[in-house]
Structure 1
């Protein structure tokens, strides 16, 4: 007798239907657009502004013709990169292996054994600039009022009302509305229908599940041991948290002038995290904000990969960027470093997509993220110049024929929207250009020290060091990198190199502007580091090159996609495809393991060895204040190149208190009758002897730390009984 089909049988039948979605009952957020007969399922539809096919049809690699050139190139590239891993490097062997790998990739591509996903064709028509302009004039008037009101360097209700209302009116005027399709009702009517008969339907296919799993892996790498890695702050964190404290106390600055000046985005983001978490001003809240920014950079890395030709490119780029040590470290350091790629990623995506499809809304979003990004981290200031370069390169290609004026109009649209979003900071810049540009000019010019050589010589030296940092050395700054190692792991570096070779040879054959622009974007987005002419020792740096990781990982995704799809289509047997899948798993495990080691072992150990243990001192003071003493009778004796005493107060839970007490001020404590605690550097014998002479009844204790040089003394002075 036949048995009833089980749930497992049902799932197997669904999985066997390639390309068909899983139907999980009850989840469409969009209400029904047209009534459907009972029992019938409406055909799936793409969003109205998405094309039905994003990938250009390709000629598969003939079955049985194994792309051995690509396989050999990958093996050679991996071998080459292992020769560049510190501490024992063999540069000549690595150069030979990489050169052979490049030759094999070119051979395989020209011989037709390596396929590459090509982007969708460019739109034939230019951007449509027709629209409704009725709101432009009132919007502009309100924005002028906001600009004048922002001169105070403070956000307030009035200037925010002018700014948001005026910006909203201009946005509504410029936005390109999608014509409603036959039978489609308005959004408002759809919402009211859904409210009358609410239901929810989720549809997931195997690909979406795969993307979700890869994103979950990225979440793990971004948030695992976030409180412990890194485990200490340094002086820049004190400056940031003091600014956050200002925001929480109602000082809503547009540009924060403490510590040579900083843009505002991180401080408001961290203040929001503090409010949501309710845990006070501390290092972890700083890290949560920047880790979230690093995480939400990844969807645009995926989308840009898709825009370059294939969702496999996007998925590979998402995985490599999600687990990579470079973006993970600059997110965890909890400074503004990760804001550069966070804002540059959507700018690049909407720019590439806008130039390819010539849609007005893409350029508007590009301008929005550009303007918002200028409130983030100063290296973002190079991106407007990159957009001009991108449009210029596009205009030089055949794709721009017949739509050059529309392309220039699109550039103007980006500029207008970006200028509106940038308006509060622009108001500050008008009166304070010296403060706004001081940090950048101190690296580019001679405001802090003379250039150590000829500008041209330093520039080209910096350019070379930056371009080889992916394979050789990412610099010597211990706070945001593993010193003197490649910026990429072995697998990512090898795939990035092979992807670059493919882009070069494909551009030579096809002359697609996107291939050239992706390659050019890498050095251009690294210019904030390369242009450190006054301090060339700060180049390369993972923070000021951060946005370059976006095209770097997309290029690595192109290398992976070419090898994977070429192998997959060259074999037809189940055993052969299992071998291909096993090859992918081996590469994934290799790169995941190396990046885990780099972040959670090597970087963690290096960072903790370089940072002072202010959290330990903060715990000591907190324990003292909660037991025999008070927060006001604890002191840290400063010493040259030792702890930032403000950080001790932050770690103790008193973020506005600086615990510094210099030895010449010890006498000021004599009038204090309560119990006192002094923290002294382990080798500051002069301060310790002075305290012993002043307070002979004090109790001395050594606090040891497993890391060399991190011991410190505490000297506890009992309080005087009442009446003495």
Structure 2
């Protein structure tokens, strides 16, 4: 062994955090530190008998304290903190902190301190190209008959029956019967109910999952009735459509207010009939259910990208996120975008990984149903093609590329079967079907404010800032001017993106690139708002990005916990089972950091949803609920529902909302000032509501009904008072 050199002495000091800390302590105590210097460990060099090349066997990586990891986390959190509103000049410091965090993360990754959980292994499958000809022919015939019978924008018993038969025969023609897995436990339902005793096993992991579910359900449903408290014109449009269904009008596409797809409307109508009536709560509950049903697929995607823990972390942080919560609580179809984007992405990735035809049928089902849900989902067919393009660039050979194109065709065919009713409407009424999307994409509604070469990069940049800087200015379903993510999720998201980029550069995995590109792909409905670039970004049109964004959040956190709890040898073998006494504090440290991050994230999101969002929404929305209460009180006193009116005024309340609050849905109680004299001929009590700014209406009512009673309704919200003018039957 050679004598130690100066370089060996320096290396012994800076090889890890413990060595550096001990050196400082020894230096402070004036102890001799030269004995620390040891010569570099010998490196064994062998010759490979097959190739005569040198094989260098290096010593195992040191099990040092993960100071780089903790520094990365601290820098990222500090950087994201500076991006919180109100922003100051400190935001520039935040950019520098993030750059330092990224550099430190790259260093930690290259040093082996950051350990990413590997993605699921590719499972080459045996593709069966067989098709059951009889069911396939019947599927084609019934599909054609369905398309013909879906005319006139109306669902009937006949065309729905034909549609269901076409779906059944199509699935019968293409679905492959798979042998039941022997690894799955068999469940005897009869024995379960006839048994005199049940043995229930409760594990720690099961309790943790149950606690996680309870936290998420609480966060998504707590104060659902009053957060947000008021409806807008969008809600009036949806409730009018729901009311039409309850009155027997079964439309395929609802053309009111530039049009909307049927799935959400029919589910709301069903829920209204069974539970809550045609109300704001109905719209909220169905939207929240859509959001909750998205979470299992986020979990499954997390498993595809590494482990159960990644899936659970993604679900947990998405479950308590301010962004998913407010777009659901607003009570529109927004949550149906991620609801069907998640399974579409999941089955495509799993299908390509397992080479299984059934997965692409399931992806086609999710795609086809999703097209019946929310207009921004129409970007998904293009996203699907792009995702297959990513796979083609990484496919191992020509046969794999050819097979993937067959799968893409099957996926498209499947989705069309579920899209047939809207496809018929699109052919029959093309202008109405495409108007909403093209009003943002093209010059249908107004000229483009700038050349495309300026608009597209600007919209891409604004969309990229959505998660960590600026989520738009639409107050009804966001908090204007703030990031879409909280401080913890925002920092972990950028760390996850950085790590995935590093891993992709090193491994060229198509799954990693798919996940990264899914973020801008799912944002495209907002990015393509070229005629109205001020509407980009918007949390509603980028709603499906919730899926890949929170997966990246989970990957960032999972890697962080790996680096604290677990190190790896140079050859990649886990050392968790080795030297447990030396690493005894690591699990405790990892768990403590996770709990602190979760509690901080939960507290901030809770404050954002139940205080900041609630207060700003309440101050901005007109108080139609209070007008509905006045209307209901009038009706309870014997007044006729047909003799209560609201006088419209520019930029004031929607006159269709008060009847829904009063329990008399489907009415528009607006009365123009010119039509007020016609009410004199009506007998019975009468009631008018109008804004404090409408002096013309006040003058006209006093002239026509001099014995009427004028009162000012004092709203619970400042600057939301209105006048109530009551005329007794004797007048």
TM-score under structure 1 length normalisation: 0.87
Q: Which residue does the alignment assign to 2:334?
A: 337
Q: Aligned match of 2:237 in 239, 248, 262?
A: 239
Alignment partner, residue 166 of structure 1: 166
Higher mean displacement: 117-126 or 705-714: 117-126
- 2:572 is matched with none
1:530 aligns to 2:527 (yes or no): yes
Report the secondary structure of 1:618's partner residue: helix
Q: CA deviation at 1:573?
A: 4.5
Verify the 8 A CA contact 1:63 1:569 in the aligned structure 2.
no
Distance 1:280 1:185 in 2: 42
Distance in 1, matches of 2:258 and 2:300, equals 36
Change (3 A) 1:398 1:164: closer
C-alpha deviation, 1:145, in angstroms: 0.7
CA contact (8 A) 1:676 1:716 kept: yes
Contact 2:224 2:329 in 1 (8 A): yes
Alignment partner, residue 690 of structure 1: 700
Alpha-carbon contact 1:66-1:113 (below 8 Å) kept: no
Distance 1:581 1:255 in 2: 51
| Aligned counterpart in structure 1 of residue 688 of structure 2, from 678, 703, 719 | 678
2:470 is the alignment partner of 1:473: yes
- The equivalent of 1:110 in structure 2 is 110
Cα deviation for residue 202 of structure 1 reads 5.8
2:283 to 266, 281, 286: 286
Shift of 1:123: 2.4
Residue 403 in structure 1 maps to residue 400 in structure 2: yes
Aligned mates of 1:185, 1:577 — CA distance in 2:
32
Deviations 1:589-633, CA, capped at 9 Å, x for gaps: 000000001111111111111110001000101001111522122
Q: Which moved more, 1:656-665 or 1:76-85?
A: 656-665
Distance 1:260 1:180 in 2: 48
Do residues 129 (structure 1) and 129 (structure 2) align?
yes
More off after superposition, 399-408 vs 520-529: 399-408
Decide whether the 8 Å contact of 2:622 with 2:652 is kept in 1: yes
Q: Which deviations, in whole Å up to 9, do the C-alpha atoms of 1:416-440 show, x marking residues without a partner?
A: 1101111111111111111110000
Cα distance, 1:574 vs. partner? Answer: 4.3
* 1:447 aligned to which of 444, 447, 454: 444
Distance 1:695 1:355, change over 3 A: same
Deviations 1:203-225 (A, max 9, x none): 66433432232122111111100
- Give the counterpart of 1:580 among 590, 614, 622: 590
Query: 5+ unaligned residues in a row in structure 1: which ranges?
Result: 1-60
* CA spacing shift, 1:182–1:434, aligned 2, 3 Å: closer
Whether the 8 Å CA contact 2:237–2:257 is kept in 1: the answer is: yes
Following the alignment from structure 1 to structure 2, what is the Cα–Cα distance between the partners of residues 329 and 182?
43
Change beyond 3 A, Cα 1:185–1:496: closer
1:668 deviates by 0.8
The one of 292, 310, 322 aligned to 1:325: 322
Aligned pairs (5 A) from 1:511-530: 511-530=508-527
Compared CA separation, residues 180 and 70, structure 1 to 2 (3 A):
closer
Q: Which deviations, in whole Å up to 9, do the C-alpha atoms of 1:480-508 show, x marking residues without a partner?
A: 10000001000000000000000000001
Secondary structure of 2:134's counterpart equals coil
Is 2:495 the partner of 1:486?
no
Q: Deviations over 1:338-365 (max 9, x none)?
A: 1111110111111111111111111111
Q: Is 1:435 the counterpart of 2:417 in the alignment?
A: no
Greater gyration radius: 2
Extract unaligned runs of 5+ from structure 2: 1-59, 568-579
Tell me the C-alpha RMSD between the 2 structures: 2.2
The secondary structure found in structure 1 opposite 2:656 is: helix
1:108-138 deviation per Cα after TM superposition (whole angstroms, max 9, x unaligned)? 1111111001112212346432354431111
Whether 2:662 is the aligned partner of 1:652: answer: yes
Query: What secondary structure, in the 3-state scheme, does the structure 2 residue paired with 1:290 have?
Result: helix
Task: Find the counterpart in structure 1 of residue 8 from structure 2.
Answer: none
Residue pair 2:626, 2:715 contacting (<8 A) in 1 also: no
CA contact (8 A) 2:688 2:726 kept: yes
Out of 489, 501, 504, the residue aligned to residue 498 of structure 2 is 501
Question: Shift of residue 577 of structure 1?
Answer: 2.3
Where does residue 614 of structure 1 map in the other structure? Answer: 624
Report the Cα offset of residue 66 of structure 1.
2.6
Contact 1:62 1:569 in 2 (8 A): no
Match of 2:150, SS state, is helix
Is residue 177 of structure 1 aligned with residue 189 of structure 2? no
Q: How does 1:222-301 map to 2 (within 5 A)?
A: 222-277=220-275, 279-301=276-298
Preserved contact between residue 127 and residue 410 of structure 1 (Cα < 8 Å):
no
Q: Which has the higher contact order (CA 8 A, sep 6+)?
A: 1
Q: Report the counterpart of residue 25 of structure 2 in structure 1.
A: none
Pair 1:145 & 2:145 matched: yes
Q: Give the C-alpha shift of residue 466 in structure 1.
A: 0.5
Q: 1:150 to 1:72 in 2, by over 3 A?
A: same
After TM superposition, give the deviation of residue 686 of structure 1 in Å. Answer: 2.0
Task: Give secondary structure in 2 for the equivalent of 1:176.
Answer: coil
Q: Give the superposition deviation at 1:196.
A: 8.9
Instruction: Tell me the secondary structure at the aligned position of residue 526 of structure 1.
Output: helix
Q: Aligned pair in 2 of structure 1 residues 343, 180: CA closer, same or farther (>3 Å)? A: closer
Cα gap change, 1:605/1:583 in structure 2, threshold over 3 Å: closer, same or farther?
Answer: same
Distance (whole Å) between structure 1 residues aligned to residue 180 and residue 705 of structure 2 = 84
How many residue pairs were aligned? 658
Q: 1:23 — aligned with what?
A: none
Structure 1 residue corresponding to 2:646, chosen from 636, 641, 650: 636
Give the aligned partner of residue 154 of structure 2: 154
CA 1:467–1:184: 2 relative to 1, 3 Å: closer
| Map of 2:36 onto structure 1 | none
- Determine if contact 1:350/1:366 at 8 Å carries over to the other structure: yes
Match of 1:33 in 2: none
Query: Partners in 2 of 1:552 and 1:401 — Cα distance?
Result: 32
Pair 1:547 & 2:544 matched: yes
The separation in 2 between residues aligned to 1:167 and 1:677, in whole angstroms, is: 53
Give the Å deviation of 1:547: 0.4
Give, in angstroms, the shift of residue 67 of structure 1: 2.6
Could you say which residue in structure 2 is the equivalent of 1:10?
none
The corresponding residue for 1:21 is none
For residues 628 and 309 of structure 1, the distance between their equivalents in structure 2, rounded to whole angstroms, comes to 65
Q: Is the 8 A contact 1:125 1:403 kept in 2?
A: no
Does the 8 A contact of 2:120 with 2:303 survive in 1?
no
Q: Aligned partners of 1:708, 1:199: CA distance in 2, in Å?
A: 61
Which residue of the partner structure matches residue 32 of structure 1?
none
SS at match of 1:643: coil
Does residue 392 (structure 1) correspond to residue 389 (structure 2)? The answer is yes
Cα contact 2:328–2:335 (8 A) shared by 1 = yes
Distance 1:70 1:192 in 2: 53
Q: TM-score, normalised by structure 2?
A: 0.87
